[in-house]
Amino acid sequence: MLILGREINTILFDKDGTIIDFPSIWIPWIDNIFDYLVDTVPECPLSRIELRTAFGAEGKGDFVDPKGPLAIASIEESKTIIAYKLYENGVPWDSAVVYASESVKFANEKENSSTIKAIDGIKEFLEDVRANNIRLGVLTADDTDRAWEHLKEVKLADYFEFVIGSDQVSNGKPFPDMAYLARDRYSITLSETMLIGDTNADMQLGKNAGVNVTVGIVTYSDNNINHLKDADIIIKSYKELTM
């Protein structure tokens, strides 16, 4: 069917910042990591602000740099950042790697579903496109099982045919591996696919995979659109895509 004048049969979504409100899930996550490190690492050398800054989160507020690691990095890449910050502050690398892995596990387990919320207008948009037989999938830097849980927590999982996380591919965003896997596993036609995401890594993934159109959505970060330089279209609300 036609969306924005283009023939689209599949929409691939990023998850965080595109389906799920980004700060509602990731700011508590990074703070839980810090709390674990403070309680576990002897004389922990890191401050909360230093750890947030390393991930591209503003020291005291909920601003997240859409070009930063918190917005783009995979879980495994996040562990490396934590380990490096510990090492940089005097923790031996072998110990830092263990602390990083354990802190992420702690943060994942401690996650509070009551704080997670969906992006305004996403449910209505999903209802609209599904009613028109558009196939729907998710490509996320998060791990696949965890992504499904997040979608279930905001009661949106049933809308999606599949979720592909960075744990299923060799190369995460901006490489096209997840889109190619969706093509090969689920027989989608990339030339008839729209990709919607909140970071330029999403846009680059779409371009590298040869999708029909890349749509950048701005739902946080002070409504700045400069980071979405490879988007074909930029929106600030799903109402702009209403058919």
Task: Name the stretches of the chain with pLDDT < 50.
Answer: none
Of the candidates 225, 10, 232, 28, which has an alpha carbon nearest to the alpha carbon of residue 115? 28
Tell me whether strands 2-3 and 6-7 are parallel, antiparallel or unpaired.
antiparallel
Backbone angles phi, psi at 49, to 5 degrees: -65, -40
Q: What is the pLDDT of residue 67?
A: 83
* DSSP labels, the chain: -EETTEE-SEEEE-SBTTTB-HHHHHHHHHHHHHHHHHHHSTT----HHHHHHHTTB-SSSS-B-TTSHHHH--HHHHHHHHHHHHHHTT--HHHHHHHHHHHHHHHHHH--GGG--BPTTHHHHHHHHHHTT-EEEEEESS-HHHHHHHHHHTT-GGG-SEEEEGGGSSS-TTSSHHHHHHHHHH---GGGEEEEESSHHHHHHHHHHT-SEEEEE--SGGG--TT-TT-SEEESSGGGG--
Enumerate domains of the chain plus CATH numbers: 2-21+116-241 (3.40.50.1000), 23-114 (no CATH)
Q: What is the pLDDT of residue 24?
A: 83
Angle, nearest 10°, between helix axes 177-186 and 200-209? 50
pTM: 0.79
CA atoms of 110 and 93, how far apart (whole Å)? 25
CA atoms of 139 and 236, how far apart (whole Å)? 20
